Amino acid sequence: MSIWGIIPELPLLRRELTELSSRRRTYVIRFVGAIIVLTAVMLYYSYHVSLLESNRYQYGPGVGNPNRFFGAGASIFKGIVPMLFVSVQLLMPALICGSITIEKERNTIGTLFVTRLSPMTIVLEKLGSRLVPMFTFLLLTFPVLAVVYSLGGVETTLLLGTLWLLFCECLLYASIGLLCSSWFATTVTAFIWSYVLTGLLAVFSALFASGPIALPTPFYLWMFAFQGFDSGYGNNTLLSESSSGFLQTLAQLLFVAAGTIPSLIATAVFVLLARVFLVRRAFISSSSVMLKVFKAIDRFFIRLNNRTTGGMVLMKDYNSLPLFDPVAWRERSKKSLGKARYLFRILVVMEGPTLFICVGAATLSSRSDFSGLRGLLLLVWAIAAMILAMKGATVISAERVRETLDALLSTPLTAKEILTQKIAGMQRLMIVLAIPILSVHLTLLLLHVDLLRLPSSSARTIFGVALYIVGCVLTTFLTMHILTWLAVLLGLRSKSQSRSAMTAICLIAAWVLVTSFTCRPGGFVFETLSMTGPTPQTNAPRRGPGYSGYNGYEETPEGQRSRTIAAAICCMARPDGGVQANESILISVGNPYIDQDELSYAPSRSIASAVTVSAVVFVWQLVMLLLIRATTLRLAPRLLGRQDQGTASASPEAKLSPSFPVMGSEVIA
Amino acid sequence: MSMPMTDPTTMAIPPKPKPLAICIRDLRVSYGKFEAVKGISLDIPHGEVFGFIGPNGAGKSSTFRVLATLQPKFRGMALVCGLDVLSQPQQVRDVMGFVPDFFGVYEDLTALEYLHFFAAAYKLPMSKRKGTIDDVLALTDMTHKADSPVDSLSRGMKQRLALARVLLHDPKVLLLDEPSSGLDPRARIEMRELLKALREMGKTILISSHILQELSQLCTRIGIIELGHIVAQGSLNDIYRKLQLMRVIHVRVENPADDLLDRLQKIPGVGSVETQVDRWAIKLHEDLMSVADLHQALVEEKARLTMFQPEAMDMETAFMKLTEGKTA
């Protein structure tokens, strides 16, 4: 006990925080994270202030008077706070998912158990050790909030309620990550499942947000209490905009606090489950969970077959041995994500729901809104990208962790052969992941183009459809290879599977998110680049079959050219640029009623423009793939720690001549 | 003007000297600012079993990694069978087999699949592959475990499987980093016997171990390394002689008179005689007098011997004397 004997010593918490503070990575992540969050907050702040300025200017009074900002703090505050909630949802799982798994991976969990720390103490101290960095991260945004608060309009209820709900949000997401960390054997699996559960919670919260039964997560409680929703509830908040008097403030705060009770109960349950699993699953094997599941399914089917047919086998498993490419052979025949039979099961699991949704969309959609299908496309791409990034990043670090890399590297296989065989072993997986993606593309094609009337369609349409199909197949595999090789490159140096997988997934996710927001049609980069050309002119219908303009403007050829260039540059910057460029082909030949302004890089429906963009992006992605692949293979020997090509041109005999050591010239030290 | 003709049959062509199995000159390996190996030089002829001894962090594994072509950054020169590890790494891998100080498992393979995997990695011709694998399984006494998953093998079995792996391509030089580490006594004895068999087959073996007694029974020469320096190398007897280590002989006599003790101390070659509860411990300079001569001298001094027990030369003593207990 310390500090007057009241606060316990908390040795584990102290050790964790000491470790955290001694890592350079902590400060780098905090710095980069703070820059991102503060930039976003400041941008929003300046945007809002400029909006206020322009509004006041428009209506005349108050020009040049700083008092015009008074009372504007509440609306800015309400714009900024959701970013903080989202930051918690994104960061908290990453921070906490390794807290217990790292003890399992280092084999130090047994050492903790033999101390006088109880399992609950271990769980709580681990929780505390990850909450502290999250709170310090949130503290970084407080100066901005203080400026906003100084503008006035932020009620005490709003301020205190927000702080309480942020605290509860941290607790809830931390407890989910902690539960995953306690259940799983490795940080990689805990990381993935933390985000899966977090994502599911976010999705279900959003689904039920406007319904009668709302999932009372702190974020949605904050939305209900302070911001209100546009749909269903109008813009009314549960709490009044202003609270007058101490008692009313107190009552409103108590109302907010009462609303968080379910979330706090859920947190407590997750923590208790983490405590239970901490002991039960402390020494579980880190071997592939999926492989175990598949083997269990195999055993079940074999038993079933023995009972029903007496063990009749139509096609016997051919247990092959490696002939020429041993590394590829092992990837294909011994891994859960390589064996044909297991991959078929994964395909069924992925393709079944995908087809179901696609058929539903094809029969129920409104012929002008395909946002559901695009969401599905995003989802199957996200799953594919995550699996490929994880698999690619861990191809070498898994060998390092299992201490098999040195044995492999001391064989005559070159680093290039090892890596290319590893990737070759992933080809089947790529095909399986590509099938649902291509299914969604096919559905989009069916919705855009009437294929039955295609033979009688114009050559332009037939050409566009053919190009779309070929483009989809090519860009899907091209993008997959880019992601895989990039992940391999990022994971080459890493000594830990968790670190390599998390680095690859986070970097690819950051690439996708940043370019999706900035380079999308209507995004900052796209609009800036589009506006560099001549100013568009307006004199055309805004929608419908005759529409060929952009945002209601009839395009000049120069304007069209500048937007084609902008589209090409933006698609080149995006990892999914090839997919986006292909979609612009479809839109330019397909359904004329689609609300295209928000969706496509070919808003003017010019197939020439769309094909140009697609071709440029395809060539760029091909070059990018070759560059990443060449860089990876060139750096591989050095990063793997061995010599593949001879460096010295002179023979050793020449170098040593005339005293080249030969047998008999023994040196005595 | 024509060149004078010489009859090639009459010319005495000197036989081309066979390069050493391992030759290291002024090897230096650094990790950042830390220098793990500080100028090691070693010459190991073919067929020799060279023991590499040193405390943890002395630089043994770094030296092994250089020879195994897994350490691209180093200074100095390292040759395996005359092939430079820097400029001819692929050729070096063909003539060398490396067993690291840990045994990672491909948990999804059986022992047979494991060997087939590495046979393919060593690019063994298909026609020879099955026969070679059967041979190495037999040599390492692993035939009955061929279909067992590698993950389920005991540590001793895994080490034998690792040896089987590096024998697949019939290398001339074996680099074995702590092959007996963590093995139980039976597995250790079996491993020693296996290494002796490999020595009989003419393999050159560079082996490191902490178990000094084991190396003394197996190695033709040893090198003692500390803090990146070789502090001694040569045969065991050379090192004992160099260190002027005295052999201790335990003697029990029926007639332990004082004058007998005085006479014994005056025998040339006897360093000192220590009186213990039931015996005398005689420290003998072996370079001046052999153990047999001491026995003869004692008999001549009318000592009625009931026990004459020379203590085995102790490598641990040599190790302790040569090293200062400093580790990196």
State the average pLDDT over residues B129-135: 90
Give residue A511's pLDDT: 87
Question: What contacts A665, CB < 8 A, 6 or more positions away?
Answer: B43
Average pLDDT over residues A501-506: 84
Looking at the predicted structure, is the pLDDT value of residue A123 above 90? yes
What's the pLDDT at A665?
Answer: 33
Q: What is the pLDDT of residue A538?
A: 46
> Can you give the pLDDT at residue A189?
83
**Least-confidence region, from A46-50, A384-388, A472-476, B192-196:** A46-50
Q: Is residue A346 part of a domain?
A: no
Domain count, chain A: 2
Q: Is the pLDDT of residue A168 over 90?
A: yes
Least confident of A511-520, B1-10, B187-196: B1-10
Count of beta carbons in the 10 Å neighbourhood of residue A22: 8
Peptide bond into A218 cis (omega under 30): no
Domain assignment present for residue A607? The answer is: yes
Q: What does the pLDDT read at residue A458?
A: 77
- Predicted local confidence at residue A100, as pLDDT: 92
Separation in Å, CA of B212 to nearest CA in chain A: 20
Quick check: A368 pLDDT over 80? Answer: no
User: Quick one: pLDDT at residue A91?
Assistant: 85
* Closest approach of B259 to chain A, Cα-based (Å): 45
What backbone phi and psi angles, to 5 degrees, belong to B306? Answer: -105, -15
Mean pLDDT to the nearest integer, B28-39? 88
Same domain, A511 and A369: yes
Q: Report if residue A541 sits inside a domain.
A: no
Considering only CB atoms, which chain A residues are within 8 Å of B224?
A: none
More confident residue, A478 or A242: A478
- Measured between CB atoms, which of B41, B70, B108 is closest to A410? B70
CATH fold group of domain B246-312: Alpha-Beta Plaits (3.30.70)
Q: What is the pLDDT of residues A7-20, one digit of tens each?
A: 677 888 888 888 88
Compare CB distances from B121 to A411, A653, A661 and report the shortest one's residue: A411
Q: Is it the case that residue A579 has pLDDT exceeding 70?
A: yes
A269 falls within a domain = yes
More confident residue, A509 or B258: A509
Share of chain B above pLDDT 70, in %: 88
- Mean pLDDT of the region A49-62: 57
Residues of B in contact with A643 (CB under 8 A): 69, 72, 85-86, 89
In this prediction, residue A320 has a pLDDT band, given cuts at 50, 70 and 90, of confident
Backbone angles phi, psi at A534, to 5 degrees: -65, 155
Give yes or no for A660 touching B (CB within 8 A): yes
At A153 the pLDDT is 77
In this prediction, residue A244 has a pLDDT band, given cuts at 50, 70 and 90, of low
Pick from B41, B70, B88: CB nearest A667: B41
A-proximal residues of B, 159-218, CB under 8 Å: 162, 165
Is residue A299 over pLDDT 60?
Answer: yes
Greater pLDDT, B176 or A567: B176
Residue where a domain stops, chosen among A234, A257, A286: A286
Confidence band for A98, pLDDT divided at 50, 70 and 90 = confident
Q: What pLDDT shows up at residue A350?
A: 83
pLDDT band (50, 70, 90) for residue A496: confident
Q: With a cut of 60, say whether residue A539 has pLDDT above it.
A: no
- A99 pLDDT more than 50: yes
pLDDT, average across residues B280-296: 86
Hey, is the C-beta of B31 within 8 angstroms of any chain A C-beta?
no
**Res B7 pLDDT > 60:** no
Contact B20/A649, CB-based, under 8 Å? Answer: no
Mean pLDDT, range A408-431, rounded to an integer: 90
Task: Inform me whether the pLDDT recorded for A175 exceeds 90.
Answer: yes
Domain annotation covers residue A320: no
Decide if B127 touches A, using CB distance below 8 A. Answer: no
Q: CB distance A412–B93 less than 8 Å?
A: yes
Q: What percentage of chain A's residues is helix, strand, coil (to nearest 5)?
A: 70, 0, 30
Stretch A480-495: mean pLDDT, rounded? Answer: 90
User: Which of these three, A286, A320, A339, is where a domain ends?
Assistant: A286
B107 pLDDT more than 80: no
Cβ <8 Å between A662 and B87:
no
pLDDT at A463 over 50: yes
Within 277-306 of B, beta carbons closer than 8 Å to A belong to none
Least confident range from A234-238, A484-488, A621-625: namely A234-238
pLDDT band at A565 (very low <50, low <70, confident <90, very high): confident
* A320 touches B: beta carbon within 8 Å: no
Domain co-membership, A388 together with A532: yes
Does some domain include residue A281?
Answer: yes
Of A59 and A374, the one with more pLDDT: A374
Residue A393 and residue A249 share a domain: no
pLDDT for B169 beyond 60: yes
**What percentage of chain A reaches a pLDDT higher than 90?**
16
User: Do A324 and B120 lie within an 8 Å CB cutoff?
Assistant: yes
pLDDT at A53 over 70: no
Q: Residue A229 gets which letter from DSSP?
A: -
Res. A650: pLDDT tops 80: no
Average pLDDT, chain A: 78
User: The domain containing residue A631 runs over which residues?
Assistant: 351-536+555-639
Give me the mean pLDDT over the A308-319 stretch: 70
One domain for residues A220 and A73: yes
Other residues' Cβ atoms within 10 Å of the Cβ of residue B63:
31
Q: Does A317 touch chain B (CB under 8 A)?
A: no
Is residue A46 domain-shared with residue A169, that is, in the same domain?
Answer: yes
The more confidently predicted of residues A457 and A611 is A611
Q: Is residue A545 part of a domain?
A: no
**Per-residue model confidence (pLDDT) at position A658:** 38
Q: Do A643 and B89 touch (CB under 8 A)?
A: yes
Write down the architecture of domain B22-240 according to CATH. Answer: 3-Layer(aba) Sandwich (3.40)
Same domain, yes or no, for A51 and A197? yes
Residues 6+ apart with CB under 8 A from B209: B51, B52, B53, B178, B179, B180, B181, B215
Q: Are residues A259 and A170 in the same domain?
A: yes
For B203-216, what is each residue's pLDDT tens digit? 899 998 876 777 77
Q: How far apart are CA A425 and CA A419, in angstroms?
A: 10
Residue of B107 and B94 predicted with greater confidence: B94
Please give the residue of chain B at the shortest CA–CA distance from A322.
B117
